[in-house]
């Protein structure tokens, strides 16, 4: 059987293949002589018959290599399984499967995606527990899988309390949360920073990148009012900043989103963002020179906030 597998969910694609093949020849896009390797693979018969073959990133193969493989596929019988990660020529008969990740803003669908991954490893997880996992590790499906595998050792049913007890916040998720809190003028910022294990220098680099992106968006944004999804896509296209990030910085919320967002473009000017970046560099230098420390720098940043306007 020829399987044409597309979509951006690598975890679901891996499970799809794993359920149908315990072992296989793997030919990746960076290997030389891929069509020759494929010919060898399909002509090799093991103790239990032909061994399945997986062709990774088929869309990235050279045109002549893809054509050579497709020509060989025409001659194959149904006794050998070939899993092709990519699209085949329309004339090649195959069983097509699409595995798509939810969009970054589709919180409900990400919870269902997390529950589906748990089911694939033979476990169940409550929706509330899935929501907590996502809040702590972010929307990274392989990280979600690893955490679910760890929790599955404790119990076949994963609840909210188990997740809260055994899964720490992913540092990348935590530091971006802190940076957005600061830019949102959140009064709890210092409390969050004190409880956090994030070094100021790491926080500073993430905050500076957010400030640069927000400044770039301000250059393209029209007016001081809210934005439409069409405008967000236009800004993303012209700046190279992902549309989900543009939406987040501009406070754009989707109907199925529980997260409360603040339109940061209404709070800060480009002058403030420029001064902020310069001051962050000064704080980083102070830490390196021993004139300040990681924890004190958070307080210095808040103390200087109004002077940066």
pLDDT tens-digit series, residues 169-205: 888 888 999 999 999 998 889 988 888 878 999 999 9
Look up the CATH number of domain 107-168. Answer: 1.10.8.60
Task: For 172-308, give the CATH class.
Answer: mainly alpha
The third-level CATH classification (topology) of the domain covering 2-98 is Rossmann fold (3.40.50)
Same fold? 107-168, 172-308: no
Residues 52-77 have pLDDT tens digits of 899 999 999 999 999 999 888 887 76
Is 135:45 a contact under the CB 8 Å cutoff?
no
Contacts 24+ apart (CB under 8 A), 178-182: 178/203, 178/206, 178/207, 179/203, 179/206, 179/207, 179/210, 180/210, 180/248, 180/262, 180/264, 182/207, 182/301, 182/302
The pTM (predicted TM-score) of the whole model is 0.72
Residues 276-298 have pLDDT tens digits of 999 999 999 999 999 989 989 99
Residue 37 CA to residue 114 CA, distance in Å, equals 36
Nearest to 284 by CA among 187, 206, 231: 206
Q: Where are the domains of the chain?
A: 2-98, 107-168, 172-308
């Amino acid at each position: 059987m020829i399987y044409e597998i597309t979509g951006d969910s690598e975890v679901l694609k891996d499970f799809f293949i794993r359920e149908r093949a315990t072992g296989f020849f793997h030919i990746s896009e960076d290997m030389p002589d891929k069509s020759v390797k494929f010919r060898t693979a399909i002509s090799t018969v093991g103790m239990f018959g032909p061994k399945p073959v997986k062709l990774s990133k088929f869309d990235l193969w050279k045109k002549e290599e893809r054509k050579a493989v497709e020509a060989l596929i025409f001659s194959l019988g149904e006794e050998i399984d070939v899993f092709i990660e990519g699209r085949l020529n329309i004339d090649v008969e195959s069983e097509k499967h699409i595995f798509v990740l939810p969009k970054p803003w589709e919180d409900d669908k990400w919870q269902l995606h997390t529950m589906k991954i748990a089911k694939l490893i033979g476990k169940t997880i409550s929706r509330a527990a899935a929501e907590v996992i996502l809040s702590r590790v972010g929307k990274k499906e392989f990280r979600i899988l690893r955490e679910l595998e760890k929790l599955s050792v404790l119990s076949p049913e994963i609840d909210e309390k188990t997740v809260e007890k055994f899964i720490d916040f992913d540092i990348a998720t935590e530091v971006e949360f802190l940076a957005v809190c600061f830019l949102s003028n959140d009064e709890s910022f210092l409390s969050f920073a004190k409880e956090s294990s994030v070094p100021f220098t790491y926080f500073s680099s993430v905050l500076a990148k957010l400030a640069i992106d927000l400044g770039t968006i301000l250059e393209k944004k029209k007016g001081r009012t809210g934005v439409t999804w069409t405008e967000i896509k236009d800004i993303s296209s012209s700046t190279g900043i992902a549309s989900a990030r543009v939406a987040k910085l501009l406070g754009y919320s989707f109907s199925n989103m529980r997260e409360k967002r603040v339109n940061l473009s209404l709070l800060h000017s480009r002058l403030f963002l420029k001064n902020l970046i310069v001051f962050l560099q000064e704080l980083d230098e102070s830490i390196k020179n021993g004139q300040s420390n990681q924890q004190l720098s958070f307080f210095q940043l808040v103390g200087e906030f109004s002077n940066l306007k």
